[in-house]
Amino acid sequence: MTTYGLGHLITNNPATFPKLKENAIRFKELVLEDTSFASNVAKVFYDKRMKLKDYKLTDTGYEYSQGSQGDSKIFLNEPYIKITRLEKPKKEFF
């Protein structure tokens, strides 16, 4: 088992998490729900030079591209931050 100090978790590429779990959605789910909104999200990611997993981004939207690297989840109504989420300990552990 590996343990990490707080500084290590914050600075060494932590996973991204939203404050509220219902604000996170996978991009491929968004494509199935609302293609026009997914296209707008893809344009924003393209402008910021970010990548989405399994999609090639263009200035007009997106194209499916199996095996492309990048983020698979996007966060709606929240800022995109990369910091380790520390859950409040439960009382029964103490």
- In 16-91, the DSSP E strands lie at 24-26, 55-58, 61-64, 73-75
Using CB atoms within 10 A of its CB, is residue 54 exposed (0-12), middle (13-18) or buried (19+)?
middle
pLDDT digits (tens, 9 = 90+) for 24-74: 888 888 889 998 998 988 898 888 888 888 888 888 888 888 877 877 788
Q: What is the pTM assigned to this prediction? A: 0.62
pLDDT of residue 66: 83
The ranges assigned to domains in the chain are 17-75
| 43 and 61 Cβ atoms separated by less than 8 Å | yes
